[in-house]
Amino acid sequence: MRRPDGFQIALLALMTLLAVVMALPIVYIFNHAFKPYHELFAYPPTFWVRSPTLDNWHDLLAAAQQSFVPFTRYLFNSVLVAAVMVAATVLISSMGAYPLSKHKFKGKKLLFSAIVLSLMFAPEAVGIPRYLVVSELGLMNRFLGHIVPNLAMPVGVFLMKQFMDQVPDELIEAAKLDGAREFAIFARIVMPVCMPAVATISILTFQATWGDAGPSSLYMQDETLKTLPFYIDTLTNGLANSVAGQGRAAMATMLMFLVNFIIFLTLQKKVIDTMAHSGIK
């Protein structure tokens, strides 16, 4: 291997600096969770924790034990909703992308253009229509209210289609000549190629679901149907002295982030593969 030239060294140094800057919020979250109260409200704020403590963890456990609904119930609801959402979103996105990629029908380009156009809409723009749809479908205060409004994931369909475009049409035609049915082609030929996209969609869906307190706040009145993000939001909201809940809120935020962080580290290679190949046909 030849020695790196000056440009490569400068580029490596720049990328290293950018990586350090991007890692600072992650380091801050972990430091913030173990700060005692006098450091949480110190002015000017401190980045590094000077006297690490587990008091915030103990406060979080004490608050969970005093809650009307057990902490484990919120956790169970979040895990169940996230698992169902990941499985359902991957299935719907892949099955929706397959005909867009490998079949010909009228309105195909228009339909795909509409899906791409929907990527431009911010969640806040569809908040009221989504609430009206949930209400009309009778999903208020029902467990499906967490799942049904968020099943449509345009970016998932887009990524899956781009990966499926890489599968040669000749291979599919050969499988049909050998007697393979449509579902067998989809499951055994097309989907194995799309596993990086599946991993990416799984991460995006999990992150969006795991930290979303919106459905619990908007659609659920029964406390036993609400999820962990909603519970964390209530740790400081409504308190006469919100200072008392900042330590436990910092610890809870770190725990919520830790789950996302571990899953991303586990599947990061698949995500990089997706971003590298999603535009190649």
C-beta atoms surrounding 39 within 10 Å: 19
Task: Flag whether 92 is in a domain.
Answer: yes
pLDDT (mean) for 7-34: 87
Cα dihedral value 161, 275, 209, 147, nearest 10: 0
Banded model confidence at residue 92, pLDDT cuts 50, 70, 90: very high
Task: Flag whether 213 is in a domain.
Answer: yes
Q: Exposed, middle or buried, 17 (CB in 10 Å: 0-12/13-18/19+)?
A: exposed
**Is the bond leading into 215 cis (omega within 30 degrees of zero)?**
no
pLDDT for position 275? 58
pLDDT for position 50? 85
Higher pLDDT, 205 or 37: 205
pLDDT for position 281? 41
C-alpha span between 200 and 216 (Å, rounded): 25
Q: Is the pLDDT of residue 183 over 90?
A: no
pLDDT for position 276? 58
Higher pLDDT, 67 or 184: 184
pLDDT for position 236? 61
CATH of the domain at 237: 1.10.3720.10
Q: How many domains does the chain have?
A: 1
Task: Flag whether 82 is in a domain.
Answer: yes
DSSP 187: I
pLDDT for position 81? 92
If you average pLDDT over every residue of the chain, what do you get?
83
Task: Flag whether 18 is in a domain.
Answer: no
pLDDT for position 129? 85
Q: pLDDT tens digits for 230-250? A: 888 777 665 444 566 777 788
Contact of 51 with 39, CB cutoff 8 Å: yes
Residues of the domain holding 109: 66-277
Task: Flag whether 48 is in a domain.
Answer: no
C-alpha span between 153 and 93 (Å, rounded): 7
User: Which own/partner pairs from 256-260 qualify as long-range (CB within 8 Å, at least 24 positions apart)?
Assistant: 256/210, 256/211, 256/228, 256/229, 256/232, 257/26, 257/29, 259/210, 260/206, 260/207, 260/210, 260/211
Task: Flag whether 260 is in a domain.
Answer: yes
Copy the structure tokens of residue 255: 């725990």
Q: Is the pLDDT of residue 154 over 80?
A: yes
C-alpha span between 250 and 232 (Å, rounded): 10
Higher pLDDT, 270 or 112: 112
Give the percent of the chain with pLDDT over 90: 7
Task: Flag whether 56 is in a domain.
Answer: no
Q: Is the pLDDT of residue 280 over 80?
A: no
Contact of 197 with 159, CB cutoff 8 Å: yes
Banded model confidence at residue 91, pLDDT cuts 50, 70, 90: very high
pLDDT for position 271? 65
C-beta atoms surrounding 146 within 10 Å: 26
Contact of 145 with 134, CB cutoff 8 Å: yes
Lowest mean pLDDT among 24-28, 122-126, 134-138, 189-193: 122-126
Q: Is the pLDDT of residue 27 over 70?
A: yes
Contact of 154 with 115, CB cutoff 8 Å: yes
Reported as half-sphere exposure (CB side, CA atoms, 13 A), residue 120 has a value of 4
